[in-house]
Chains A and B, each alone.
Chain A
Amino acid sequence: MANVSTFLLRVTRAVTTSGVLVMMLVGGPALAQYPERPITLITPYAAGGSHDLNARVFTTYIQRYLDQPVVIKLVPGQAGQKGTLEAVQAPPDGYTLIFTDNYRDQLYQHTFRNRHYDTTADLISVARVNYGQVGLIVRGDSPYQTWQDFEADARARPGELKMSHSGLWAAFFVTAGQVMKDRGIRLRLVPYRGGGPAKAALLGGDVDISAGFPSSLVADVEAGVIRILATAGSERTIEDVPSFAELGISASAGFMHRAVMAPRATPADRIARLRAAFAELQDDPDYKAAMAQMGENTEYLDGEAYEDERRALGNEYAELAAAIAAL
């Protein structure tokens, strides 16, 4: 009997130690009005991914403005459908939120069949936390000095040049599809398990071109190992490196908007409270510093503005999904 209780004691102690540790980090005084208990943030992707990392950072600081901890719950699976379904079906009381992105939110309805929900109708934006901006990259010793060099070669040898990406319908894959569609070229797309292995494939010489987030490639560019040929968007973000718009690629291509959303039936005052907290977070120097260290931006967009943005993206994506599927 004594042995059992010792064993159980150890187990409970282990659980509570980690629990207390987390509570110490995130705990704060509880208030009588919303939120009066911890909020769950569903992340529909696996531990260690870019969503997970970003969420770990902002949930650590957002509790300063919500007076309650935000606890991450990872619900990976089915390209994010599993977690999305759980968020849609959660009680709309402001205690369950989801950390999603524009592809999961607006594109996948065209690519993965689903009878259970319509993200646009069922979810409302709380805030766009930031975005990942994709760049097209080649090896430092590659013969392609500019995007034009690459495009000319790709036209001369359709379907022969290889591009590594981070997995079917993931950020780099969609970008690749958009580039091919807008420029009318055909590349051979090779999937890898995430951005890390996709970059390894480029460095190892397995493929001719890849995509990456330039903010996380600073060291490689400095060392001359990687050359960035273009960055997403209508404006240049790096001097001497053209933007997608300059090259005739849609300005909305290559952006991964990371957004926090809630079930649409959540009371308006609670949505307002959450939106206000995210607005306040933007002035937190610790939050900004932590994100900057990680190589992520803090390009916040408030919930209302992102609602318009996602509708616009949604209209574009029906055509894009069909075009990519046909490639």
Chain B
Amino acid sequence: MLEALLAGFEAALRVDTFIWVSAGLLLGMLMGAMPGFTTTMGMSVLMPVAFLVGDPLIGIPFLIGVYKGGIYGGSVPAILISMPGTAASVVTVMDGHELSKKGQPRKALDMALAASVISDFISDFLTLILIIPVAAIVLGFGPPEIAAIMFMSLVIVSVTATGPVLKGLLMLGFGFWLSFVGADPFSAMERYTFGTTELYDGFHLIPMLIGLFALPEIFNAVRAGDRKRGRVASLVGDRLSWKELKASMRTILRSTGIGTAVGLVPGLGQTVAAMMGYIAAKNASKHPETFGKGEIDGVAAAEAANNAVNGPTMVPLLTLGIPGDNVTALLLGAFMMQGLRPGPTLFETSGAIVFAILIVMLFANVIFWFIGYYSIPMFSRVVTIKKSLLIPITIMLAFTGTYLARSNPFDLVTLVGFGIIGLALRKAAFDVMPMVMGFILGRELEYSFGQTVSLAGDSLLQFALTERLGMTAIVVATPIFGTLIGLRMSRLRKQELIRGG
């Protein structure tokens, strides 16, 4: 195996490979930065490029570049115009856009990039080292364990929400209920569709996110009018300093660990990782009250966690031939078109090439840093655009992005509807984040719990206690864990009240 690793290292040192990776990264970033144009769609459109080139050390690194660039690119509109480019960057909106409003878009983008690149590098390195030994662990996670993790995430989201606990719980419940709209996945029974076909698949995530996060910002910007502004140079703010990066290093490393673990389990995904990383950072922080109000650490936590997922998703794909989501399904197709068959024999038959691909993936992060670093000044100038021009552009992006996602006119209604809901909730000082998480986690929890019941058959209790001790342990630990975090949070809230007067 070491021999293959060394041969791979040698094979990876090719100029053309790195040129193609750069092209992939750049295209991925631009696509990710287009709201509604998901990473999966970008990869699917560029797939023919990969197989027409016909060299595994060009085609696959190219697509991996698109993948990495896309997950980072989503954070750009999230930070600048409060519009998550992909679902993975929802959590980034919270602090990223606040920083942007405070005149620090450059700092926020720099942090998003630094956190993404560092976590990508570490998680890719871990993937390279651990790919063979950890493959077996992956299979230990089935629907029962995923359901338990989802349950725990829901509890933690509800106790760590900003503002009064009751409001957080209400929003969580609302999001949870929204996730039930549509045909249920086990019997196709329609729920809350009012007999329409439009709601058959439930609400689509992208218009909901753009509606909840971007439209209220647009309304507010319109109401605020075009204030007089100073010089352009000062408006985009300072770049990120070494000191600030060092201060966030702990957060980045913690989020990388969380993201890597989440990536290994097929089916959890970037959004869950970003949320967990963010909550962990908030919980560990000495000043959790600054989270959600433009905390640079919050950007680092979310972006490090969502990018750390990318590398480890290759583990189940390459060693077992199991794609966990649509992105990896596309990569599986790309590998097969190059004559590489992911699965238990891949490392024996084509070890050198596969290691070369993983090594290219690792070094692509250096290029990733450069491309990102030099594109940020250009991107961050978006905030210097006059409002009378920026607002129409943002509105256009919101509607085209919504339509682009799946060419469904009904999604535009969803967009406007959630825009109004978002505005009303903001007026009433409700945090929409628990609602979004309730929606995302609700679907996953319902599906994995349904699968668990189906696997368990007659007795769920017996199944939990005899076959699925891992699931049981997580479920039992959840209330204890939740109470501890909840108590700490409410203590901090009280302190804040006293300090506030």
> A interface vs B, CB < 8 Å?
3-4, 6-8, 10-11, 14, 17-18, 21-22, 25-26, 46-49, 52-53, 56-57, 59-60, 73-78, 81-82, 86, 111-112, 114, 159-160, 162, 167-169, 188-194, 196-197, 199-201, 203-207, 216-220, 222-223, 225, 290, 293-295
Contacts and interface: CB of A to CB of B under 8 A. Distances in A.
A200 B319 CA distance: 12
B6 to A, nearest CB: 24
B187 to A, nearest CB: 8
Contacts of B320: 199-200, 203
Contacts of A74: 41, 44, 406-407
B49 A25 contact: yes
A191 B45 contact: no
A220 B339 contact: no
Interface stretch (B101-109, B290-298, B358-366, B376-384): B376-384
Contact of B326 (A17, A48, A57, A200): A48
A205 B386 CA distance: 59
B408 A82 contact: yes
B322 A199 contact: yes
Contacts of A57: 48, 51, 337
B142 interface: yes
A48 B325 CA distance: 8
Contact of B338 (A3, A46, A204, A293): A293
Nearest to A198: B322
Given A48-B330, A191-B186, A290-B51, A223 B142 contact: no
Nearest to B339: A293
Contact of A53 (B139, B232, B330, B390): B330
A197 B342 CA distance: 15
Contact of B381 (A6, A26, A191, A201): A6
Interface stretch (B249-257, B417-425, B451-459): B451-459
Nearest to A22: B45
B323 interface: yes
Contacts of A200: 138-139, 142, 266, 316, 320, 322
B49 A21 contact: yes
Contact of B45 (A7, A18, A159, A225): A18
A25 B333 CA distance: 19
Given A3-B385, A191-B454, A193-B267, A204 B336 contact: no
Interface in B417-449: 447
Given A18-B27, A57-B51, A194 B329 contact: yes
Most buried by B among A188, A191, A197, A225: A197
A205 B385 CA distance: 57
B234 interface: no
A318 B216 CA distance: 50
B40 A162 contact: no
A218 B382 contact: no
A191 B320 CA distance: 20
A139 to B, nearest CB: 11
Given A3-B385, A47-B330, A192 B451 contact: yes
A147 to B, nearest CB: 23
12 contacts: A14-B34, A18-B27, A25-B52, A47-B38, A47-B40, A47-B44, A56-B47, A56-B333, A74-B41, A191-B454, A219-B344, A290-B337
A52 B332 CA distance: 13
A18 B46 CA distance: 9
Contacts of A194: 323, 329
Q: Which 7 A-B pairs have the closest CB atoms?
A: A48-B326, A219-B343, A204-B139, A223-B344, A14-B30, A47-B44, A196-B323
B149 to A, nearest CB: 15
Given A25-B52, A47-B40, A294 B336 contact: yes
Contacts of A75: 406-408
Nearest to A222: B345
B343 A197 contact: no
B52 A10 contact: no
B237 interface: no
A46 B407 contact: no
A6 B379 CA distance: 10
B52 A77 contact: no
Contacts of A17: 27, 30
B109 to A, nearest CB: 14
Contacts of A53: 47, 329-330, 333
A191 B457 contact: no
B384 A77 contact: no
A42 to B, nearest CB: 9
A7 B200 contact: no
Contact of A293 (B337, B384, B408): B337
A59 B46 CA distance: 13
Given A77-B408, A191-B451, A294-B336, A206 B143 contact: yes
Interface string B24-40: 00010011001000101
Given A193-B447, A220-B321, 13 more contacts: A7-B382, A14-B34, A18-B30, A46-B40, A47-B43, A47-B326, A48-B327, A57-B51, A190-B451, A196-B322, A204-B141, A206-B455, A293-B338
B44 to A, nearest CB: 4
Given A197-B322, A219-B343, A223-B344, A207 B34 contact: no
Contacts of A160: 457
B163 interface: no
A161 to B, nearest CB: 10
Contacts of B386: 4
Contact of A201 (B41, B142, B185): B142
A294 B378 contact: no
Contact of B48 (A48, A56, A168): A56
B164 interface: no
Contacts of B266: 196-197, 200
A112 B188 contact: yes
A284 to B, nearest CB: 14
A73 B322 CA distance: 26
B498 interface: no
Interface string B165-208: 00000000000000000000111100000000100110000000
Given A56-B48, A188-B454, A191-B454, A73 B407 contact: yes
Most buried by A among B321, B328, B447: B321
A189 B187 CA distance: 12
B341 interface: yes
Contacts of A21: 46, 49
B389 interface: yes
B466 to A, nearest CB: 14
A261 B48 CA distance: 22
A168 B447 CA distance: 12
B341 A294 contact: no
Given A6-B378, A10-B378, A78-B197, A220 B329 contact: no
B155 interface: no
Nearest to A295: B336
A216 B323 CA distance: 13
B140 interface: yes
B348 to A, nearest CB: 9
Nearest to A206: B142
A196 B329 CA distance: 8
A129 B438 CA distance: 42
